[in-house]
Amino acid sequence: MRDGCWGAVDIGSNSVRFLVAQVTPAGMKPLWSSLVSTRLGRDMAHSPILSKEAVEATLAAMVEAWRTMQRWLDDPARVAVLATSAVREARNGAAFCRMVAQQLGMTVQVLSGEAEGKLSYEGAVAGLTAEPLQGKQAIVVDIGGGSAEV
């Protein structure tokens, strides 16, 4: 394990994003990232249940990603796992979170729509220098697979 390494998992309605980064006083240095389309929320328009196939695909992607993340991390507690609208709205969303905890030892934090929008905004503007926004307001629109935040 490298000192200062942390992981992040973003479980969205269409895809799961993975990141390992080294965090230092100078900032964050991404070491590895990946995106896997699992379509977790694929049938949510017709049924408020995460389908068995979508859950299995998402868990398989997470298991595989954790194998890779272990090059830098030795503790799943060093991985922030965030879930968005599909898990938030599904009747079996809590059961999905328990499966992640049982299989990977990771705690899933299900974001509210407001928290999801705030993090989307912060992520979008984080790479901008202060100069382009000097004296201006920025609006970020995050169009996800199951929700949209402004």
* pLDDT single digits (tens) 125-135: 776 655 666 67
User: Is the CATH number 2.60.40.180 carried by domain 5-112?
Assistant: no
Q: What is the pLDDT of residues 51-109, one digit of tens each?
A: 999 999 999 999 999 999 999 999 999 999 999 999 999 999 999 999 999 999 999 99
Sheet of 15-24: strand order equals 27-37, 15-24, 5-11, 79-83, 108-110
Please write down the long-range contacts of 137-143, taking CB distance under 8 Å and 24 or more positions apart.
142/116, 142/117
Angle at 137 between CA 136 and CA 143, to 5 degrees: 140
CA distance 89 to 69: 28
Q: What is the pTM of this model?
A: 0.85
For the chain, the domains span: 5-112
Q: Pick from 61, 46, 47: which is nearest to 14 by CA?
A: 61
